[in-house]
Amino acid sequence: MDDKLEIGGIQLNSRLFVGTGKFSDYHLIPEVIRASKTQVVTVALRRVDFDIKEENMLEYLPKNVIVMPNTSGARNSAEAVRIARIAREAGCGNWIKVEVINDQKYLLPDNFETIKAIEILAKEGFVILPYMSPDLEAAKRMANAGAAAIMPLGAPIGTNRGIRTKELIQILISEINLPIIVDAGIGRPSEAAEAMEMGAAAVLVNTAIATADNPVLIAEAFGQAVEAGRKAYLAGPGATRQFASASSPLTGFLRNG
Amino acid sequence: MFVKICGAEFQIPEASSLQELIESKNLSGTSIIIAVNDNIIRRELWNNTKLNPNDNVEIIRIVSGG
């Protein structure tokens, strides 16, 4: 079945994107990538701390995955644009997850600053995947500004609370003509499957994998769940009903009298 | 002369090169990215790039993130 996801001219087989944050050990990252079959991972850019000797995380990423930097740390569009330009010049390719956050309690993104960042970065040839708070008007403006996909949150980052914004995401899936990638909040493979059954193009999962007791095993489960959810969506599930409808014939019963 | 490195002021010898700066901080060059006044400086130019007073140097690395 040819059901590839096309973003920025790249055809992807996997509809699961994986974040590389929060792993207890960098050695888990390549195993998670292999088990989940993901083809896109996110990374961040940070200033070097002169007092800490840190491993180079990039060495743990296989050569054939797409590395998508995020603009985490950006508090406004100017900071997001600066990070994106540095990331590209540093050799990260031209995919960028625009993430502009001023709220330290819920880490909810600033849709307004995100739109401004997209307007600038789209003119510079970036493939932009904005992390956003699900809102139809904001999504329309992001699409018009040149985003390659829209990434609405299911629940706040790191909460593993599932798809709390379900109805708003369903509206985006219906009305926006771009891949809708549910990013943040997915806590279990069943929730990833739920997103895919709704018609999401993909999901991005980080905390739920990195903080599981067995990240590699749950990564495999997430990969399978995303495939299952996508097949279910394409298969056109049966309608729900209020009253029962028997599954076995209603005649020829083996009854006395 | 004073320069800004990763947001903090440092005093370094006049006409220091980027390579000298990295070595003075005990950094390995293989995994870091350097921008001077928002321009990324390619690795092969670090030896020949001299810093000027009040330059804004960012030494950046790619780290894990969601």
Question: ipTM of this model?
Answer: 0.90
Task: Report phi then psi at B13, rounded to 5.
Answer: -60, 145
Q: Residue A54 pLDDT > 90, yes or no?
A: no
| Integer Cα distance of A160 and A227 in angstroms | 20
Q: 């079959």: which residue's tokens? A: A37
Better-scored residue on pLDDT, B50 or B30: B50
Read off the pLDDT of residues B9-49 as tens digits, 9 standing for 90 and up.
Answer: 999 999 899 999 988 888 876 778 999 998 889 888 999 99
Q: Among partner residues A57, A157, A206, which is closest to B62 by beta-carbon distance?
A: A57
B32 and chain A: CB distance < 8 Å anywhere?
yes
CB contact under 8 A, A70 and B66: yes
Read off the pLDDT of residues A164-175 as tens digits, 9 standing for 90 and up.
Answer: 999 999 999 999
Strand arrangement of the beta sheet that strand A127-132 belongs to: A95-98, A127-132, A151-152
pLDDT for A256 equals: 87
A58 and chain B: CB distance < 8 Å anywhere?
yes
Is A16 in contact with A192 (CB distance < 8 Å)? yes
Tokens at A130, concatenated:
């904005």
Q: Residue A29 pLDDT > 90, yes or no?
A: yes
Tell which of A29, A41, A47, A83 to mutate to test the B interface (max B CBs under 10 Å).
A47
Average pLDDT, chain A: 95
A71-80, A192-201, A213-222, A245-254: least confidently modelled range:
A245-254
Read off the pLDDT of residues A176-220 as tens digits, 9 standing for 90 and up.
Answer: 999 999 999 999 999 999 999 999 999 999 999 999 999 999 999
| Integer Cα distance of A257 and A117 in angstroms | 77
Q: Among partner residues B6, B40, B66, which is closest to A89 by beta-carbon distance?
A: B40
Catalytic, out of A97, A140, A166, A231: A97
If pLDDT is split at 50, 70 and 90, which confidence band does A1 have? low
B64 and chain A: CB distance < 8 Å anywhere?
yes
- The nearest alpha carbon in chain B to A52 belongs to B27
pLDDT for A20 equals: 97
Q: Where are the alpha helices (DSSP H) in A124-214?
A: 136-145, 166-175, 189-198, 207-210
Q: Among partner residues A47, A57, A89, which is closest to B64 by beta-carbon distance?
A: A57
A237 Cβ contact list (under 8 Å, min separation 6) = A197
Residue A63 CB neighbour total at 10 angstroms = 5
